Amino acid sequence: MAPALCWLRRNLRLDDNAPLAAAVRDAGAVIPVFVLDDHYLDHDFSPPRLRFLADSLRELADALGRRGSRLVVRAGPAGEALAALAAETGADRVYAHQDHEPHARALHARAAEVLERRGARLVLVPDLLLVDPATLTAASGRPFAVYTPFARRWREADKPGPLPEPVALDTPPAVLASSFPSVPLGRPRGLRERGAPENPPGGSLEARRLWDLFRAGPLQGYARRRDLPGEAGTSRLSPHLRFGTIGVRRLLHEAREAWRAADAAGRASIDAFVGELAWREFYAALLGREPRLAAEPFRREFEAFPWVGGEEGERRLAAWREGRTGYPVVDAGMRQLAREGWMHNRVRMVTASFLAKHLRVDWRRGEALFRARLADGDLASNTGGWQWAAGCGTDAQPFFRIFNPVLQGERFDPDGAYVRRYVPELARWRGAGRDLHAPWRSLSPPADYPAPIVDHAAARREALEAFDRLRGGRAGAR
């Protein structure tokens, strides 16, 4: 029987890996391959993600080596690289995961075409999501455009259990020979020396460590603590779900086990956590169905929104990007992002809303910056989250509901632990007290921290006026 290639992309693990399990089941001999596409180094360039990817590939290569197999690494374009590898090894099938991202679909279409010309076949297997979005439709037969009914159907849908790691991996001896061509992991352009020390480390061992830590405590209190950025109340698994260093079927299975053993409060928390996995699938389904949402607002009228551009727009964007807006929770969030390549969800909502509504800078500028800086940067969740925050998405936070960054800070970071951790000017401010989230109100504000870039009340009014004009005066009536 001819061997099969297993093309690993966003499933960098051995456990609960559907394409790998299918290849082992159908072909016997399997050649795991990763193709480093220029896409990662150009269009989708992100130092924290490259670091995460490098860590994960190194660990995966070691794990495969320990099982008598090998991770073959080739340079893209993927279709040509896979076809060449298939020709070298006599493989007649390439197993990979289905993907909703526009770039991945184009990659798959191209790979299928090149492979077919060489007599091989691309076999796509569901793996990234728990429920195939095509099976989730409203009573009308149309796909859902709103989260709540989507999530109701998603929760009811059958979901597959996790797949065990293959007991043995049979890889052709010729591929194991050191002379068989594979790009050394230290060498691919861009994979070396990327990222910063505080970026999330990659790999399945790290994913398992984080998940065990989270399950042992924070999961039970998730409903209460998930909104508090100063606490370790969330799983931090997002980059691992982005790169598939842990399987989402495995997570759900173990979350359900924890649910069975939990009390009522614990169960509510676990339900809330599973609801977040549903958000991830909602945005994936949405982008899969409407690829235009990667760059266009769901609510088309927002194409005409009067964003602040030119020099003033750039000035505002720079202050936001560098965490110098004078609003502590916004600045702490942007500095956390720059330092760690990750930001707490509550603060993502506040910082994104602040850029789009207070500063009226086009949400796409912020989306691009987030995606470049986030280790979990994911086109579907990021454009979905940004459109939600900017008020132009499907399930949007209505535009006229504008987060007050001071009240958000006081409510979700009441002791200021979060802003102090990321804004040293505020950590060393002696006069800090009740005004920590609004330092300009203090009689002795910190000398080295900026004054607010805009006045909240004035910015809110201007944003509502702009929105009003967009809606032909209707917004004010709501």
Active-site residue set? 276, 279, 307, 345, 363, 386
Under the binding rule (CB under 6 A), the answer on residue 378 touching ligand FAD is yes
- Please say which residue, 69 or 387, places its beta carbon nearer to ligand FAD: 387
- Please say which residue, 342 or 449, places its beta carbon nearer to ligand FAD: 342
Member of 3, 377, 416, 446 binding ligand FAD (CB under 6 A): 377
Kindly state the number of chain residues that form the binding site for ligand FAD, as judged by CB under 6 A: 27
Under the binding rule (CB under 6 A), the answer on residue 349 touching ligand FAD is yes
Binders of ligand FAD among residues 356 to 375 (CB under 6 A) are 370, 374
Phi, psi at residue 117, to the nearest 5°?
A: -60, -25
Sketch the per residue contact string, 257 through 296, with ligand FAD: x for CB under 6 A, - otherwise.
Answer: -------------------xx-xx--x-------------
Stretch that binds ligand FAD, among 20-28, 53-61, 89-97, 233-241 (CB under 6 A): 233-241
Burial track 320-342 (b if 16+ CB lie within 10 A, e otherwise): bbebbbbbbbbbbbbbbbbbbbb
**Whose CA is closest to 147, among 387, 412, 363, 410?**
387
The neighbour count for residue 291, using CB atoms within 10 Å, is 17
Shortest approach of ligand FAD to residue 239 CB, angstroms?
8
Under 8 Å between Cβ of 360 and 463: yes
Phi, psi at residue 5, to the nearest 5°?
A: -90, 145
Shortest approach of ligand FAD to residue 117 CB, angstroms?
36
H or E segment to which residue 31 belongs: strand 30-36
Shortest approach of ligand FAD to residue 272 CB, angstroms?
9
Under 8 Å between Cβ of 49 and 379: no
Shortest approach of ligand FAD to residue 296 CB, angstroms?
16
Residues 6+ apart with CB under 8 A from 86: 5, 92, 94, 115, 118, 120
Under the binding rule (CB under 6 A), the answer on residue 235 touching ligand FAD is yes
Shortest approach of ligand FAD to residue 262 CB, angstroms?
16
Q: What's the rounded Cα separation, in Å, for the pair 330 and 432?
A: 17
Whose CB is nearest to ligand FAD? 385
> Could you give the C-alpha distances from 24 to 83, 165, 297, 377, 383, in angstroms and in order?
20, 10, 42, 31, 36
- Please say which residue, 89 or 383, places its beta carbon nearer to ligand FAD: 383
- Please say which residue, 241 or 406, places its beta carbon nearer to ligand FAD: 241
Under the binding rule (CB under 6 A), the answer on residue 381 touching ligand FAD is yes
Under the binding rule (CB under 6 A), the answer on residue 352 touching ligand FAD is yes
Shortest approach of ligand FAD to residue 343 CB, angstroms?
7
Under the binding rule (CB under 6 A), the answer on residue 236 touching ligand FAD is yes
**Whose CA is closest to 30, among 184, 243, 128, 176?**
176
Looking at residue 104, its amino acid is A
- Please say which residue, 17 or 397, places its beta carbon nearer to ligand FAD: 397
Q: What's the rounded Cα separation, in Å, for the pair 129 and 124?
A: 13
Shortest approach of ligand FAD to residue 81 CB, angstroms?
27
Shortest approach of ligand FAD to residue 3 CB, angstroms?
34
Stretch that binds ligand FAD, among 146-154, 330-338, 384-392, 401-409 (CB under 6 A): 384-392
- Please say which residue, 377 or 446, places its beta carbon nearer to ligand FAD: 377
Shortest approach of ligand FAD to residue 204 CB, angstroms?
15
Under the binding rule (CB under 6 A), the answer on residue 243 touching ligand FAD is no
Member of 11, 238, 394, 397 binding ligand FAD (CB under 6 A): 238
DSSP 8-state code for residue 454: S
Q: What's the rounded Cα separation, in Å, for the pair 244 and 20?
A: 13
- Please say which residue, 4 or 248, places its beta carbon nearer to ligand FAD: 248
189-193 long-range contacts, Cβ below 8 Å, gap at least 24?
189/41, 190/40, 190/41, 190/45, 190/50, 191/36, 191/50, 191/53, 191/54, 191/57, 192/54
- Please say which residue, 23 or 332, places its beta carbon nearer to ligand FAD: 332
30-36 and 4-7 strand pairing: parallel
**Whose CA is closest to 258, among 214, 223, 208, 299?**
214
Tell me if residue 96 falls in helix, strand or coil: strand
Residues 6+ apart with CB under 8 A from 249: 16, 130, 159, 160, 161, 162, 163
- Please say which residue, 33 or 223, places its beta carbon nearer to ligand FAD: 223
Under the binding rule (CB under 6 A), the answer on residue 48 touching ligand FAD is no
**Whose CA is closest to 210, among 241, 173, 182, 253?**
241
Q: Residues interacting with ligand FAD, by CB under 6 A?
A: 226, 234-238, 241-242, 276-277, 279-280, 283, 345, 348-349, 352, 370, 374, 376-378, 381-382, 385-386, 389
